[in-house]
Structure 1
Amino acid sequence: MIVVLKPGTPNLEIEQLTQEFQSQGLNPEKIVGKHKVVIGLVGDTADLDPLQLRELSPWIEQVLRVEKPFKRASRDYRHGEASTVTVTTPGGSVAIGEHQSLVVVAGPCSVENEAMIIETAQRVKAAGAHFLRGGAYKPRTSPYAFQGHGESALELLAAARQASGLGIITEVMDTADVEKVAAIADVLQVGARNMQNFALLKKVGAQDKPVLLKRGMSATIEEWLMAAEYVLAAGNPNVILCERGIRTFDRQYARNTLDLSAIPVLRSLTHLPIMIDPSHGTGRAEYVPAMAMAAIAAGTDALMIEVHPHPAKALSDGPQSLSPQQFDQLMPQLAVLGKAMNRWPQPAAAMI
């Protein structure tokens, strides 16, 4: 249930309403929008009468029930307004959201060595990326495949951040690793295989770094949003949704099916920012540019693109990785479409 307050509602009135809702056993959450303040009521609201609640104050404009099971993730919870996730990086704050400039995340699937990750970071930064992605811990289908260097790779990501000034996005796979990953990463990624690892979702929700939540390989949109709800319910409001392709029938020509229809669907259902990963979504480097541009046209807030100095020698996901030269060529193409969509930094509108 949400309580929509009239424009100009005094802070004292908001505090008094908050105390009143708390006295009724509810957990009120104040949400400051562009034009209005909304109080989200979390708890047992089934027996509450919206008309009676409106009588509590002349400053209450509306009382609405949130019918969707994903309460906090629902767009209704913010009275239709989109949320922005602002990430503090060495180079400044980067804002990710529906009304912000497009954000680009680039880097290798996994961190292989110091020279490789620093070279990649510097190259993608020079091309215009805002974040470096790179896996320290890698979930792999085969137990014999490269699993990442683990904790030592986190130190290499820290070195790459210092050398490039980019923010760092890296995956956390285990609740035991959340604190050490959060000490280095600017954004914690929960991968597709862990989308419904509820213990992990609660753990990343209990810390304050933003969370990038990838869609599970066979997850419905509602299951994905309910996973986001776990993070939000644990207290972390900064969640970014990442579509990275789902498993369908034909895997001969593409690794996954990139569900670009998820962008308008999510836009209607949730206030959370949206990222598209065309690298995992297709599994083929030659398809990445087309899908990246299609994602911008469809309205994505961010892109995640795999870049490796030598894709043919990559320890993981080489076939879907662009070389730095290919990334250099792609970014101006993305800029043309991004400017047409009024979503491209001019020169750095995403930096605040």
Structure 2
Amino acid sequence: MLVIMKSSATEEEIGRVIERIEVEGLSAHVSRGMERTVIGVIGQGVDVHRIAGVLGGMSGVESLVPISKPFKLASREFHPQDTVVEVNGVRIGGEEVVVIGGPCSVESEEQTLATARAVKAAGGKLLRGGAYKPRTSPYSFRGMGVRGLEILARAREETGLGVVTEVMSVEELPVVMEYADMLQIGTRNMQNYALLEAVGRTEMPVLLKRGMSATVEEWLLAAEYIMAQGNRRVVLCERGIRSFDPYTRNVFDVGAIALVKGLSHLPVIGDPSQGTGRASLVVPVSLAAVAAGADGLLVEVHPNPEGAMSDNAQQVTFEGFEELMAGVRRVASAIGRSAAEPAREPQGVSA
């Protein structure tokens, strides 16, 4: 339930309500708005009616509201205002549509640095790249591991772009945290609850991809696992769901972006590369995602897609990324938002 405090409620009254919630063995999650403070009450195995009677009579409490959604902390009922997640100084969920670009996999320092420079020059705000890659076949290229993380850090040093990279297990989490600015939870790990809870105990921003066969509710409940551990810095990523049609790798659910923006206060971005599996579809699907309300995009970019060591069919060239950014700026402007202009400052000096 939600405890709505009066606009005149004092900090002492708010504190007493929080203390009583915790005495009852429940968790109190505080959301402070411009006019009122709202306290979310989360927990199981209690008499809801009794708790409501106790809290409803406390000083400073205006009303109690049940949360109808199973995803409590991620719902707009709990937090009506949009959440903005900051990553290396970049705000995701605000007025600007943030584009994250980079290779599917880190393959070499030369490839990654060239891509990072191109992404920044075109207006990308963060750098993506896989150092650890979950692959369907154990014989496919599965990433460079720690060396890949070191290369991503080198690219950040030169370009200033924050690093978004995937963590695949609880065991890998400490080393990935040393190098990343944002932790990515991939589609195969969306319901890896031990990993979700582990990243929830960190204070790092988390990019949570939708599972390839997940419903919207399952996706939001995965976010709930992270948030229930105390980490509210979650960005949702629609990356397409599995279908019977072989013409696209997945079905990119544009409607889910608009739907989730209504259900949840968390930022939502789209991954048109994984979502379609075809480079020729990345630009039009990106524009559709922005028009539907996406707060950003996650795009795979490579200097030579044909020679890429993973997912070569869906990675765009540097020129393709420039085209995408130009289109994103036009669509964002048309719906009252913005996207970064091409960078005009020097791109850094190589060591």
How do residues 1-352 of structure 1 correspond to structure 2 at under 5 angstroms? Answer: 1-44=1-44, 45-49=46-50, 50=52, 52-57=54-59, 59-78=60-79, 80-87=80-87, 89=88, 93-97=89-93, 99-251=94-246, 253-345=247-339
Deviation at 1:52, TM superposition (A): 4.7
Deviation at 1:8, TM superposition (A): 4.7
* Bigger shift: residues 173-182 or 68-77: 68-77
**Is the partner of 1:76 in helix, strand or coil?**
coil
Checking the alignment, whether the CA contact within 8 Å between 2:122 and 2:341 is kept in structure 1 is: no
Change (3 A) 1:346 1:207: closer
1:285-311 residue CA offsets vs partner (Å, 9 max, x unmatched): 111110000001100011011100111
Q: Which runs of 5+ in 2 are unaligned?
A: 343-351
Checking the alignment, whether the CA contact within 8 Å between 1:51 and 1:63 is kept in structure 2 is: no
Q: Which runs of 5+ in 1 are unaligned?
A: none
**TM-score, normalising length from structure 2?**
0.93
Deviation at 1:17, TM superposition (A): 2.0
Change (3 A) 1:347 1:281: closer
Deviation at 1:182, TM superposition (A): 1.0
1:149-199 residue CA offsets vs partner (Å, 9 max, x unmatched): 111100000000001100110000111000110111111001001111111
Change (3 A) 1:35 1:279: farther
Checking the alignment, whether the CA contact within 8 Å between 2:123 and 2:340 is kept in structure 1 is: no
Paired with 2:110 and 2:340, the residues of 1 have a C-alpha distance of 32
Paired with 2:217 and 2:19, the residues of 1 have a C-alpha distance of 33
Deviation at 1:341, TM superposition (A): 1.4
Paired with 2:68 and 2:2, the residues of 1 have a C-alpha distance of 11
1:232 maps to amino acid: M
Paired with 1:233 and 1:305, the residues of 2 have a C-alpha distance of 29
Paired with 2:8 and 2:323, the residues of 1 have a C-alpha distance of 49
Structure 1: 4+ residue segments shifted above 4 A: 345-348
RMSD: 1.6
